[in-house]
Amino acid sequence: NSLVLDTEEKPARRRLVLVPVPAQGHLSLMMQLAETLHLKGFSITVAQTKFNYFSPSDDFTDFQFVTITESLPESAFKNLKPIMFLLKLNKECQVSFKLLLQQDISCVIYNEYMYFVEAAAKEFNLPNVIFSTTNATAFVYRSVFKKLYANNILAPLKDSKGQQDELVPGFHPLRYKDLPTSIFSSLENILQLYKNTVDKRTASSVIINTASCLESSSLSWLQQQLEIPVFPIGPLHMVASDPTSLLEENRNCIEWLNKKKQNSVIFVSLGSLALLEVNEVMETASGLDSSNQHFLWVIRPGSVRGSEWIEHLPEEFSKMVSSRGYIVKWAPQKEVLAHPAVGGFWSHCGWNSTLESIGEGVPMICKPFSTDQKVNARYLECVWRIGIQVEGELDRGAVERAVKRLMVGEEGEEMRKRAICLKERLRASVRDGSSSHNSLDEFIHLMRTL
């Protein structure tokens, strides 16, 4: 009976356990990876903590979702600074994660920041793969940063502004101030996190959400240093859909954009974690107002320090944004960037936002807040030359000048042309037979041999 034979001969689907960081950008990417691997024939288990818990929709009925228990207070994600939160979360999850590894599993794939997974995988003799949701260059500079610290040459970071502007020897175009430090954390805490995320430890390979057309030299450097396969398989948002928004998207802004001329709107969005002081919001509003450009501005609830949203901002705020601005709590960002009316993106330069902007050929104004965002901003400005970085304190004059340079000047036009060329190259890299596509195939082949 051929039917019986069929079932008997069919190999069992290999099960992969995926462990995301509980924050919007990281989670979306992990789910995109999960979807891609599932389509290639793997069974998927997603292990989440209670923080920013993603409730699976109908799109994910074939996946298994499990919870890693820990005893951090509910408020920890909101109240702790991100680096401290990650350090504590890793400590907390170690024990209970092991209980989840009792079933038949082929491999564990974990976000580089969820490094607790490695010890558990090692104990169960399970292959483990690091998934870097930042980029290869940030990975490189975290290593550099560690070495500079070990050799005691990070002093310029603590010194006067003049020295901070100097280039780090041997690491053009990075200046001391672009190193992935954070105003939200001590050097020691950052280094502790990097110590755990940079080393390959026992991982069998690293997958990175990037493409070789963006960072070929950083990728070669990594490959040499890590001595395990490094697979640049991105941008994942171009190969898989993304039904994982933790916040409700306001789609009315698309209607608003539909009424605007081509390249006439600047989109302002600072990702899922950045916080602004009230005075920074006011300076931004004033600069946007006097730039005379239309703007679509995402102000996430809780992102203005000390305020639920924007209801308690000084009265001038509404006046400044009412004539040319449109404010939403959360936008369908990829769709907004793809809209013909959007001619520029004011961003904190998170890696997802950076890839999404390049993927739509939209040049950027870069206002990074911390860690890897500073490296991305420097690359946008000096390497890919599709960004203008706003440095120092946020004041209305600087905002107005940057917006005008990007939206009305010849300089902006040149950047737009370069951004469109880069978009074509990036899109080509995920097509059949191209670099990211091939890398993904090689990675899947490796997974099948485990």
Q: In the complex, which residues of this chain contact ligand UDP (CB under 6 A)?
A: 23-25, 28, 245, 269, 271-273, 298, 330-331, 333-334, 350-353, 356
Would you say 336 or 447 has its CB closer to ligand UDP? 336
Would you say 132 or 352 has its CB closer to ligand UDP? 352
Taking the complex as a whole, the smallest distance from the CB of residue 409 to ligand UDP amounts, in Å, to 26
- Please return the burial class of 65, using the count of CB atoms within 10 Å of its CB with bins 0-12, 13-18 and 19+: middle
Taking the complex as a whole, the smallest distance from the CB of residue 222 to ligand UDP amounts, in Å, to 20
Taking the complex as a whole, the smallest distance from the CB of residue 334 to ligand UDP amounts, in Å, to 6
Taking the complex as a whole, the smallest distance from the CB of residue 382 to ligand UDP amounts, in Å, to 20
Spatial CA neighbour of 146 closest among 103, 213, 197, 112: 197
Would you say 356 or 360 has its CB closer to ligand UDP? 356
Spatial CA neighbour of 354 closest among 422, 290, 299, 432: 422
Return the residue matching tokens 């793969």. Answer: 129
Q: How far apart are CA 117 and CA 94, in angstroms?
A: 7
Long-range contacts of 176-180 (CB under 8 A, 24+ apart): 177/374, 178/374, 178/375, 178/377, 178/378, 179/141, 179/144, 179/145, 179/148, 179/154, 179/374, 179/375, 180/138, 180/141, 180/142, 180/145, 180/370, 180/371, 180/372, 180/374, 180/375
Q: How far apart are CA 335 and CA 269, in angstroms?
A: 13
Taking the complex as a whole, the smallest distance from the CB of residue 332 to ligand UDP amounts, in Å, to 6
Q: How many CB atoms lie within 10 A of CB 279?
A: 13
Q: Which of helix, strand or coil describes residue 115? A: coil
Would you say 100 or 375 has its CB closer to ligand UDP? 375
| Helix ranges (DSSP H) in 13-129 | 24-39, 76-79, 82-99, 116-123
Q: How far apart are CA 262 and CA 339, in angstroms?
A: 9
Residue 335: which residues within 8 A CB-CB, separation 6 or more? 254
Q: How many CB atoms lie within 10 A of CB 384?
A: 20
The type of residue at 289 is D
Taking the complex as a whole, the smallest distance from the CB of residue 272 to ligand UDP amounts, in Å, to 3
How many residues appear in the chain? 450
Output the furthest CA–CA distance in the chain (Å, rounded): 81
Q: Which of helix, strand or coil describes residue 400? A: helix
Taking the complex as a whole, the smallest distance from the CB of residue 350 to ligand UDP amounts, in Å, to 2
Would you say 126 or 321 has its CB closer to ligand UDP? 321
Taking the complex as a whole, the smallest distance from the CB of residue 128 to ligand UDP amounts, in Å, to 23
Q: Phi, psi at residue 389, to the nearest 5°? A: -95, 135
Would you say 128 or 269 has its CB closer to ligand UDP? 269
Return the residue matching tokens 């794939």. Answer: 109
Would you say 77 or 351 has its CB closer to ligand UDP? 351
Taking the complex as a whole, the smallest distance from the CB of residue 443 to ligand UDP amounts, in Å, to 22
Would you say 36 or 94 has its CB closer to ligand UDP? 36
Would you say 268 or 422 has its CB closer to ligand UDP? 268
Full DSSP string of 92-109: HHHHHHHHGGGS--SEEE
Would you say 222 or 349 has its CB closer to ligand UDP? 349
Would you say 115 or 330 has its CB closer to ligand UDP? 330
DSSP 8-state secondary structure symbol assigned to residue 23: S
Would you say 31 or 415 has its CB closer to ligand UDP? 31
Torsion over CA: 220, 121, 142, 272 (sign) = positive
Taking the complex as a whole, the smallest distance from the CB of residue 442 to ligand UDP amounts, in Å, to 25
Taking the complex as a whole, the smallest distance from the CB of residue 12 to ligand UDP amounts, in Å, to 34
Taking the complex as a whole, the smallest distance from the CB of residue 22 to ligand UDP amounts, in Å, to 11
